[in-house]
Chains A and B, each alone.
Chain A
């Protein structure tokens, strides 16, 4: 007996709605199995993982802090993926954005001007965009696969940051810790509310999501993205340039990742250090797909994935399991989302043994 996938005549509307929920449910089921195997009470663990972080004001603030970079990066990536450009290197663009955005406060710690923060944000965006321009250039010039180039550039960016914070940018009065001087007051992204840590990065994320949703829904640019993403040939017939779309989508997603990077550093860390991200740039790929590459959906999925980060920390404290569990949850979720999406286009059919030898040709 084996299982066959049969293409549906038309896309199933039922499963279009149902599949993310099914994926979430399957993730929880496997989470229960995992906690049980770890010898923890599954329900208690799930409670401290997914419910507890939502019960207190400060932890809701933390949720916004974690969701902000995820959403900012993911909405940019969604435009990339919709246009069939596979930027996997948002983590690197995030890191470079954090570095270029930090040039001013690190080099001029005595500059106390309200101008410094907007300049930092702009420089962060420019840095991220320029870093994304490398795979864009390689793709448009040499037809290089952007998945590989953008991914490899991540490690270069991380090692560069490591070198900077241990070398030239290290704070001389920092007791040899590998980190820069703390940013001056004017260079810190302020909190939105006085009740907690959530900073303006979250607002940037919401604005970016709404703006890009508007672009995809109502503007010719968004139409170009979806036409070129579905058929480059039809895009060419429409007079849209696939090459320019590579630049547009890569620069846009790079700039947003860079903005996320400098917002994170300026808003919630306060200085540069060798590690500034728990993998936001990679998790954002999951966020983008879980949100169906729709900017508004991404706001929701960004909050869900931020919860797995928080839950991981909470579970570490309250029931003493490794925070790697949050990675496991993220992986499970992406896995199930992608596999459940198959059901939108295919029916599953069981074929009894010996009915037919598998054919090479179909």
Chain B
């Protein structure tokens, strides 16, 4: 198969007006995109911008609601991943689909024609991996391989089908810088052969380094198409997060109370190989203040939440103080008894158990803090269903939770309504301190504004609120002060009014603050 084409040839892949609706929510809204042969094309956007939905349609995992996909100029329907592979589209997913107990060659064989013998596959894989500088032993068991090596299997698996277009979904999010450099070399080789690469990322530096063109998505729409090499990280960041953020003026002189939650020099080693370690984190939040912690996903937000909530206590008791009390070694219920409330990021299986009714999910968070109201019978701890039911009703009314039936399973509620319930469950206690991770992640606009308003009102009523969020619009809406978390390090907080989107975008992209001190942001 020859892949060389003239420079003015039709694009390898064109997308016209591609739209994907989930209910009434447009995950992708009339997207136009052209990928030329032999280019590395970046698809940029924040989490939830619609990148994954778009590539899932290109790879036949999802079917578009409207619009057209053109392959080498001809309209095509990609009904399944198999169809996509036949056309010449290969995909490397962010989350690998490998069987750990099988060898490299066996894993590759699973995605190919079952008639091809294993030894042939192993030979071809070995040859390919050598040719592209992806060292890989076909006989090795996947369980023994590093994350970088596992990704190579996925890449080789995609390459074996001789694709013209390879889609890589956030490939460097799991790689060390050295592994990433190697990957880039491979990508340049592919490009030199005339293959195209669609490279999904939110790392600006990386995109500027390796990509020829970039398409930027925001809220499901294309907000920019550019040559990333001619842009600065700042201008890319602006396209990514949008410039239409309402300027929120805050009366920074409004009386702040005493310190409600304080973290001093908190360092926590990574619990798992995929976790981020927290490095010398310090923060102080006073009564009446909303501290927003911005950052790109996977920079330690979840770990910070686990530590603040006490789900994973730390060894240094004094590193975390709630209302002046050292609580580093205290568990989550001990912290709740001091008046703290917590809302984790993941609704299903963390903040709530999907298969249990709402009333049980209320008890889940408040079995100790509301022991007197919800439990009776002393040591036997008999659950007082009536008290819990009426509290559930109260919360649903206060937060306008739309549900079917009196006490439905948590899993039957929409994301927004369940999130309103989970936030309402904490607000109902009027917590002195509230720590929220991604309060409106995957939530419809109406519910999101309801939740944000509730957070602002809570602070106004004299509580200290910590909001960890990736959504910059949200951060500017609710924050009194803003800090940025990057690679497990937390920046100093800045008053929300003194920060620009650009500056936050750069801090989020891992460009450290020291570079930003001279206000003219030099892009390196």
Contact = CB atoms under 8 A, between A and B. Distances in A.
> Do these two chains really belong together in a complex?
yes
Interface of A: 10, 218-221, 223, 226-227, 230-231, 233-234, 236-239, 356-357, 359-361
A231 B350 contact: yes
Contact of A357 (B82, B333, B368): B82
B382 A227 contact: no
Contacts of B375: 220
A223 B111 contact: no
Interface stretch (B191-199, B356-364, B390-398): B356-364
Nearest to B382: A218
B244 to A, nearest CB: 36
Nearest to B331: A239
Nearest to A230: B353
26 contacts: A10-B412, A218-B382, A220-B375, A220-B381, A220-B382, A223-B360, A223-B363, A223-B383, A230-B355, A234-B349, A234-B352, A234-B353, A236-B332, A237-B309, A237-B351, A237-B364, A238-B365, A238-B367, A239-B368, A356-B80, A359-B80, A359-B81, A359-B82, A360-B97, A360-B111, A361-B111
Contacts of A230: 349, 353, 355-356
Nearest to A9: B412
B344 interface: yes
B311 A237 contact: yes
Interface size class, chain B? 35 or more
Contacts, number: 71
A234 B367 contact: no
B116 interface: no
Contacts of B365: 237-238
A192 to B, nearest CB: 28
Contacts of A238: 332, 364-365, 367
Contacts of B332: 236-239
B82 A226 contact: no
Contacts of A356: 80
B351 A360 contact: no
5 A-B pairs closest in CB distance: A239-B333, A220-B381, A231-B349, A238-B364, A233-B350
A107 B382 CA distance: 43
B364 to A, nearest CB: 5
Nearest to A229: B353
A214 B355 CA distance: 21
A306 B365 CA distance: 42
B380 interface: yes
Of A221, A239, A360, A361, which is in contact with the most chain B CB atoms at under 10 Å from its CB? A239
A239 B356 contact: no
A237 B356 CA distance: 15
Interface in B369-387: 375, 380-383
A221 B381 contact: yes
A145 B380 CA distance: 31
A219 B333 contact: no
Given A219-B383, A220-B382, A239-B336, 19 more contacts: A218-B382, A219-B381, A223-B363, A223-B383, A227-B360, A227-B364, A230-B349, A230-B353, A231-B350, A233-B349, A233-B350, A234-B351, A234-B353, A236-B311, A237-B309, A237-B311, A238-B332, A360-B97, A361-B61
B97 A237 contact: no
A237 B344 contact: yes
Nearest to B374: A220
Of B344, B350, B355, B365, which is in contact with the most chain A CB atoms at under 10 Å from its CB? B350
Contacts of B476: none
B311 A218 contact: no
B21 interface: no
A135 to B, nearest CB: 24
B499 interface: no
A220 B377 CA distance: 11
Contacts of A239: 331-333, 336, 367-368
A232 to B, nearest CB: 9
Contacts of B80: 356, 359
Nearest to A218: B382
B226 interface: no
Contacts of B336: 239
Given A233-B349, A234-B352, A238-B365, A219 B311 contact: no
